[in-house]
Structure 1
Amino acid sequence: MKKPIIIGSIIAALGIAGGVAVGAYQSSESGPRYADIVSVDPIVQTSSTPREVCENVTVTHQRPVKDENRIAGTAIGAIVGGVVGNQFGGGSGKKIMTAAGAVGGGLAGNQVQQQMQQGDTYQTTEQRCSTVNDSKQETVGYDVRYRYDGEVHEAKLDDKPEGERVLMRDGKPQWEENPQSS
């Protein structure tokens, strides 16, 4: 066989083999490609709404004091104490006992009136209000991580992606298309 024919045949065979290899490579590139979804984390937003809460409570009040110095109690106590003190002793001792009874009765009357005034109370029902905050958490989107061609990428989506993979077209994820789970 002639040398040029052999060389030509070898070159033709190599050309055909190269064309088949390139065609096989291109056909694998033109098929659907997917990225693996690595993680899906919800983006949570917390909002707080104030509202007023009211309740009725019983409140005890002290009545206003008409005799702040408790003169009436002191005077009545002194009179009663003087009368009682006058019943004891004789001569100048009677005068001392009357005076002592008046002083003691005055102090006792003053204390009795003070206790009566402190115990003179009344109750009312009052409305007490306060502001409380109601907290609410809402998912407003999703942080999604996916692996494509050995690299991890991130995306923020409004809706949670379904499945474990996402269809890729021209190196970009096609989130709106339904992925094929494996």
Structure 2
Amino acid sequence: MDASMIKGMAVGGLAMVVLGAGAVGGYQQLTKPKTAEVVAVKEVMETVVTPRERCQDVAVRRQAPVADQHRIAGTVIGGLAGGLLGSTVGNGSGKTLATVAGAAAGGYAGNQVQKNMQQNDAVTSVERRCQMVNEKTRQLSGYDVTYRYAGQTGTVRTSFKPGPTLPVKDGRVDTTPPQAEQS
């Protein structure tokens, strides 16, 4: 056997080893599962806070505007009534004194009666009152998926609810949402 033949056999043998190793690796890739078995799925909820304005109509009671702030009408009417009542009492100068005293007392009493009436005179109106409130809602934000692949158990988070399996690409679980089927 000459040297070139030995070299050819060595190179050929080495090529067979390399090709064989590549074939084993390719075979292992071909025999690996293409999907991972889904073991459990748990919804992941998130609390979302949304500010919004809440309004309501409220009845508001206020004192009515006063036309006679100095209560002249009550004072005059009370004074006249008191003077009339006072004039019926006594004789002579006593009668004059009773009339003046009755007018003074009646004027004061009329003033106070008008004051009480004005304070109790109220106007009710409806006002709209608003305030900002935070409204909390719970929203689904994804799924924690426990899977089994090649004898190992793992967990991933997906944005979609998976079926009984998840696809595997290049030895890793693929969490890309499946495309909606087009009609």
Amino acid at match of 1:75: V
Q: For residues 75-100 of structure 1, what are the alpha-carbon distances to aligned partners after superposition, in whole Å with 9 as ceiling and x for unaligned?
A: 33123202211211235543553344
- Matched residues in 1 for 2:157 and 2:121: separation? 70
> TM-score, normalising length from structure 1?
0.56
- Matched residues in 1 for 2:154 and 2:109: separation? 91
> TM-score, normalising length from structure 2?
0.56
- Matched residues in 2 for 1:138 and 1:58: separation? 38
Partner of 2:106: 105
- Matched residues in 2 for 1:129 and 1:108: separation? 45
- Residue 153 of structure 1 pairs with residue 126 of structure 2: no
Instruction: Name stretches of at least 5 consecutive residues in structure 1 with no aligned partner.
Output: 1-22
Amino acid at match of 1:159: F
Amino acid at match of 2:88: Q
Partner of 2:144: 143
Partner of 2:41: 40
Give 1:47 shift.
3.5
Shift in alpha-carbon separation, 1:108–1:35, aligned structure 2, 3 A: same
Instruction: Name stretches of at least 5 consecutive residues in structure 2 with no aligned partner.
Output: 1-23, 179-183
- Matched residues in 2 for 1:98 and 1:177: separation? 102
- Matched residues in 1 for 2:40 and 2:105: separation? 89
- Matched residues in 1 for 2:144 and 2:161: separation? 9
Partner of 2:76: 75
- Matched residues in 1 for 2:103 and 2:54: separation? 57
Within 5 Å, which residues of 2 pair with 1:28-67? Answer: 30=31, 32=33, 35-52=36-53, 59-67=60-68
Shift in alpha-carbon separation, 1:32–1:122, aligned structure 2, 3 A: closer
Give 1:110 shift.
1.2
Q: Please say which of residues 64-73 and 130-139 is displaced more in the overlay.
A: 130-139
Shift in alpha-carbon separation, 1:120–1:40, aligned structure 2, 3 A: same
Within 5 Å, which residues of 2 pair with 1:126-141? Answer: 126-131=127-132, 135-141=136-142
Q: Aligned residue pairs: how many? A: 152
Q: For residues 114-134 of structure 1, what are the alpha-carbon distances to aligned partners after superposition, in whole Å with 9 as ceiling and x for unaligned?
A: 233235455555554444555
Q: Please say which of residues 36-45 and 119-128 is displaced more in the overlay.
A: 119-128
Partner of 1:88: 89
CA RMSD of aligned residues (A): 4.0
- Matched residues in 2 for 1:146 and 1:68: separation? 85
- Matched residues in 1 for 2:50 and 2:140: separation? 17
